[in-house]
Structure 1
Amino acid sequence: MILITGANGVVGRRTIDLLLREGAAVTAATRGGTPLPDGVTAATGDLFEPRWIEAALKGARALQISPRATGPGLGDLLEIAAGQGVRRVVLLSATTVAHPAGEARFADGFRRAEELVTASGLDWTVLRLADFAANSLAWAPQLKAGDIVRGAYGEAATSPLHETDIAEVAAAALQGRLASGAVHTLTGPVSLDQHEKVRLLGDALGRRLSFQELPPEQVRQGMLAQGLPEEVPARLLGSLADYARDPGPTTDTVARLLGRPALTFAAWARDNAVAFAP
């Protein structure tokens, strides 16, 4: 059995789908409230205080960690997992550990998670992930209402990563098809700024879309007015400010690990076009 934390996130859900397709038994650790695919066992609770999950880990051979799902409970979770005979752990980290961008406190959180995982005594794989292509879903409300995306730092450039690529690499590591004890930096194949991402979304939708630059503080206040916690604009705007000066990394790691080209943002836009349709 393989246990997935952050199971309701785009990466967790896609990893579950792939593992089920491979015939693996899967348990999803969630806070509840979202239906899971048929065949998945639910383990419901708060992983910030993970002692409750000990019973759910019986028989597990591998564990996928999303640090934002486990938070300060990660050390305890790893200890419990080792005690229950789990052999392998895959950590979803971030490229900012080695390529700083945004506020240091966020990269420091991923760095601490890496330190705990690599010292856990389990066979480990660390996946340092670039900007998710799925982060563009934040633009859906604007594009449902019109043809302009309004935001800050239009020149900010990253190599957006398709969640399918993340999940395929993670599934390979969880199933033991990748050598353990490795850190892999995963990115999409092409660096794109926000103007280019919006244009590619327009191509997928058959519409002429544009990106309109707004002052960062205006964007911050707008997000807070929507009820988002302070952490959300802090993460977004800090990273975008740095990527506008120095683009995020681009690697060929996905292609090397999977034996096929990494999926493009254009492919992601076509796969998710319905989310932006009026």
Structure 2
Amino acid sequence: MILVTGATGNVGRNLVRELLAAGEDVRALTRDPATADLPDGVDAVPGDLTRPETLPAALHGVDRAFLFPVHGALDAFLAAARQAGTGHIVLLSSDSVTFTEPGWIGEQHLACEQAVADSGIPWTFVRPTVFMANDLAWADQIRNGGTVRGVYGTGATAPVDERDIAAVAAHALLAPSPGKTYELTGTETLSQIDRVRVIGATLGIPTRFEEVPRETVRRRLLDRLPAPAADFLLDQLAASRTTPTPTLPTTRTTLGRPAHTYADWVAHHATAFTR
């Protein structure tokens, strides 16, 4: 049995599908199984990483687990996993742990990696760069006039499709030997201006990027992120204007196929940008 935490998230939903397609028995940890809308065949159980009392039952009979990084809330899960005899944990981490200055976000992920490593349970770390799914935050602006307003439009990263992250995580869960680290990017280094252009070209709609002050974007980020995280993301984006994120071949070498392109991702999420 494989347990997937964060099963209704961008990576978790795709991971559940990958594991079912591989013929695995899958259990999904979710706050409300009745509204989770998970595929048939999944053993959806109620629980939350921040509610330790829910974890022993969720981990009963689980030999492998995908662990979503809820910062500061992994100790109870790891203790319950040890008690259950879970033999392999695949942790979703971040490439920010490899930065010379990991910043607030990198430090949070480093703490998660350290907790898993210290647990004594065999582990694998999956370290993606920025998610393509983050650009779904542009959907309202695309639908309402096609102008995306942001800062550091020429900052260039190599965003990765959540389907590729899930596929690599599934590979790791099914691999005979834990202990590897997978650093993932997409196939292309693209600026925000490039990505807005690709959205328009893929969907056949007019789009443009409009530069606005940093503080305007920071205020939007603070609606969903703590201030240190917002500042770290903006600083990294600013730095990528002169030091673009390079691409890595990890998805191809791991799965034997190329990673999805940004245009692939846009087409997959077309309704979010046009409905």
User: Hey, what does 1:133 align to over in structure 2?
Assistant: 132
Mapped contact 2:95–2:127 kept (Cα < 8 A): yes
Q: How far off its partner does 1:25 sit? A: 1.4
2:38 equivalent in structure 1: 36
Residue of structure 2 in register with 1:85 after alignment: 85
Q: Secondary structure at the match of 2:27?
A: strand
Report Cα offsets for 1:113-170 as digits up to 9, x if no partner.
1112222222211111111111111100001111211111111211111111111111
Kindly provide the CA deviation profile for residues 223-258 of structure 1, in whole angstroms up to 9, marking residues without a partner as x: 55xx54545744542432232342224211111101
Query: 2:239 maps to what in 1?
Result: 242
Contact 1:100–1:107 under 8 Å retained in 2: no
SS in 2 for 1:161: coil
Q: Normalising by structure 1, what TM-score?
A: 0.91
Alpha-carbon shift at residue 45 of structure 1 (Å)? 2.6
Corresponding residue number in structure 2 for 1:183: 181
Q: Superposition pairs for residues 1-278 of structure 1, below 5 Å?
A: 1-32=1-32, 33-68=35-70, 71-99=71-99, 104-177=103-176, 179-224=177-222, 227-231=223-227, 233-234=230-231, 236-278=233-275
- Is the 1:190–1:250 Cα contact (8 Å) retained in structure 2? yes
Partner-residue secondary structure (3-state), 2:93 = strand
**Inter-CA distance 168–222: structure 2 relative to 1 (3 Å threshold):** closer
Which sits farther off after the overlay, 150-159 or 29-38? 29-38
Q: Secondary structure at the match of 2:80?
A: helix
Retained in 2: the 8 A contact 1:43–1:53? no
Contact 1:160 1:188 in 2 (8 A): yes
> CA-atom RMSD, angstroms?
1.9
Matched residue type, 2:106: A
Q: How many residues align?
A: 272
Between the aligned partners of 1:149 and 1:156, the Cα distance in structure 2 is 14
- Alignment CA distance shift 1:222-1:174 (3 Å): closer
1:78–1:117: 8 Å Cα contact kept in structure 2? yes
Matched AA of 1:129? P
Q: Is the 8 A contact 1:27 1:43 kept in 2?
A: yes
Moved more, 180-189 or 246-255: 246-255
Give the unaligned 5+ runs of structure 2: none
Deviations 1:28-63 (A, max 9, x none): 112225332222222223312324210121111111
Deviates more, 1:115-124 or 1:145-154: 115-124
SS at match of 1:263: coil
Q: Give the percent of matched residue pairs that are identical in Structure 1 and Structure 2.
A: 41
Q: Measured at CA, do residues 5 and 170 of structure 1 come closer, stay the same or move farther in structure 2, by a change above 3 Å?
A: same
Unaligned ranges ≥5, structure 1: none
The offset of 1:89, in angstroms, is 0.7
The SS at the match of 2:72 is helix
Deviation of 1:100 (Å): 5.2
Query: Does the aligned pair in 1 maintain the 2:103–2:232 contact within 8 Å?
Result: no
Q: Verify the 8 A CA contact 1:48 1:72 in the aligned structure 2.
A: no
Q: Is the 8 A contact 1:99 1:248 kept in 2?
A: no
Deviation beyond 6 Å, 4+ runs, structure 1: none
Give the direction of change, closer, same or farther, for the CA distance of 1:88–1:223 in structure 2 (3 Å limit). closer
Q: 2:29, 2:45 within 8 Å by CA — same for their partners in 1?
A: yes
Which secondary structure state, in structure 1, belongs to the residue aligned with residue 240 of structure 2? helix
Distance (Å, rounded) in 1 between the aligned partners of 2:205 and 2:73: 45
Paired letter, 1:36: L
Using the TM superposition, give the Cα deviation of residue 21 of structure 1 relative to its aligned residue in structure 2, in angstroms: 1.4
Determine helix, strand or coil for the equivalent of 1:8. coil
